[in-house]
Structures are given as structure tokens and as C-alpha cells.
């Protein structure tokens, strides 16, 4: 339930401080998270083929033990995020933004875990009410939809905040993008991940019982 309170405060802050410099700050934060997410996903994929590099570690100051595979993919992830930040206004920059965003979402789902179904149900119910309030009810308080205004990046030269996935409307004569926020994917994803872990644990227990 605290998610609704924290997310609402953050959304109001975005709405009130929405400007060019604040978008730049969000871009930096998104790049840091995107680099971490992309690095985690690439290491998980490449470790299947480069097992020795994934299992060998070196101590790095301030970071501790880091595998050689992580050190190898980190420069690519940093360059990828920096190039997106520089050229994010270009027509095809949405591809890089979606790659960074998906990698970040996958990493968060891997780290954050719903403890039980009750917490997951309350979380999704609160998120449902949160969306309804800030998309529709907020018009009566702020004279416009706060969530839509933030997603569009009003009062800035950007197409919107970077914390969302974008796909261009290919066959729409008016152009533009179809967008979906990270929360709309992340929160249901946490519950789906919980369900998958529960099924795997039950299967593991039943297989041991059978043996």
C-alpha cells in the first residue's frame, strides 16, 4: 500500500518540476539503470557459452568481486546507453530506449520478489486505483490528467519521460507513438514471476517425493 503513496509523491514531483533540466536528470538516472539492467541480462545470456569468464572474478575497488565477463560487457552497455542519450531525438532512438527499458524491467523482476499472493493482490489492486485516480480523477484537481501530462513530457522539448516503452504508430496518418509505462509491465510481472517460482518449487518438491 505504501507503493501508492510513494508513487503518487514521485508523480506529483515530476508534474511540478517538469522542465528540460529535469528531463535531463531523468535521462541520466534511466541510463544508469539501463546500463545495470543490460549488463545483467547480457551476462546471464553469455554465461551459457563463456562459463570460464563468468566464473572467474577479479576484485575492483569500490565494487568488490566482478567477473571477467561482466567487465567485458560493461563498456558496451555504457556506450550503448550514452549513444541513446545523445541521439534520443532521432527517429529510431526508440529501439535503444526499449532495449534499455526491457533490460531494466527484467532485472528489477529478478531482484524484487513478491513474498506471497496476498501482497501481490494488494499491490495490483492499489496500482489499479492509482492509475484510475491519476489518469481520470486528477483532471478535477489539476485541470488536466497528471499522468498523461507527465508521460507526454509537457513543457519540455522531449516526446516524454524516458521511463516508458515506445512503439511508433506505423499505419496512423497522424503519426506519434504508442507508449506504456514501466509500472504497467513491472507490477504484473512481479506477480507472474511469483507464480512461476511457486510452480517450479512445487514441481521440484513433487519430483523429490517421487524419487
- pLDDT digit string, tens, across residues 114-155: 888 888 888 889 889 988 998 888 888 888 888 888 877 766
Cα distance between residue 20 and residue 62, in whole Å: 33
State the catalytic residue, choosing from 24, 98, 131, 172.
131
Cα distance between residue 46 and residue 33, in whole Å: 20
Residue 168, classed as helix, strand or coil, is strand
Tell which wins on pLDDT, 19 or 163: 163
Active site residue 184: yes
**Predicted local confidence at residue 67, as pLDDT:** 83
Q: Of the ranges 45-49, 61-65, 204-208, which is most confident?
A: 45-49
Domain that residue 168 falls in: 2-210
Cα distance between residue 62 and residue 40, in whole Å: 18
Q: pLDDT tier at 180 (50, 70, 90 boundaries)?
A: confident
Tell which wins on pLDDT, 151 or 187: 187
The number of domains in the chain is: 1
Percent of the chain with pLDDT over 90: 22
Chain centre to alpha carbon of residue 102: 6
Residue 1, classed as helix, strand or coil, is coil
Q: What is the pLDDT of residues 79-106, one digit of tens each?
A: 999 999 999 888 888 999 999 999 999 9
State the catalytic residue, choosing from 154, 157, 159, 184.
184
Percent of the chain with pLDDT over 70: 92
**Predicted local confidence at residue 209, as pLDDT:** 58
pTM, 2 dp: 0.85
Amino acid at each position: 500500500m505504501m507503493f501508492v503513496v510513494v508513487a503518487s509523491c514521485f508523480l506529483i514531483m515530476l508534474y511540478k518540476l517538469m522542465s528540460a533540466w529535469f528531463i535531463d536528470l531523468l535521462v541520466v538516472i534511466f541510463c544508469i539503470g539501463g546500463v545495470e539492467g543490460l549488463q545483467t541480462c547480457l551476462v546471464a545470456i553469455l554465461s551459457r557459452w563463456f562459463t570460464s569468464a563468468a566464473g572467474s572474478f577479479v576484485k575492483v575497488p569500490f565494487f568488490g568481486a566482478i567477473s571477467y565477463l561482466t567487465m567485458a560487457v560493461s563498456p558496451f552497455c555504457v556506450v550503448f546507453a550514452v549513444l541513446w542519450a545523445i541521439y534520443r531525438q532521432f527517429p529510431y532512438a526508440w529501439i535503444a530506449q526499449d532495449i534499455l527499458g526491457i533490460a531494466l524491467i527484467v532485472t528489477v523482476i529478478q531482484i524484487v520478489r513478491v513474498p506471497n499472493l496476498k501482497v501481490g493482490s494488494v499491490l495490483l489492486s492499489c496500482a489499479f486505483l492509482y492509475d484510475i485516480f491519476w489518469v481520470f480523477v486528477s483532471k478535477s484537481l489539476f485541470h488536466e490528467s497528471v499522468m498523461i501530462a507527465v508521460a507526454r513530457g509537457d513543457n519540455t522539448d522531449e516526446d516524454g519521460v524516458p521511463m516508458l516503452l515506445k512503439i511508433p504508430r506505423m499505419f496512423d496518418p497522424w503519426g506519434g507513438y504508442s507508449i506504456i509505462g514501466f509500472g504497467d509491465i513491472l507490477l504484473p510481472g512481479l506477480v507472474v514471476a511469483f507464480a512461476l517460482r511457486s510452480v517450479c518449487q512445487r514441481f521440484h518438491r513433487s519430483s523429490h517425493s517421487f524419487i
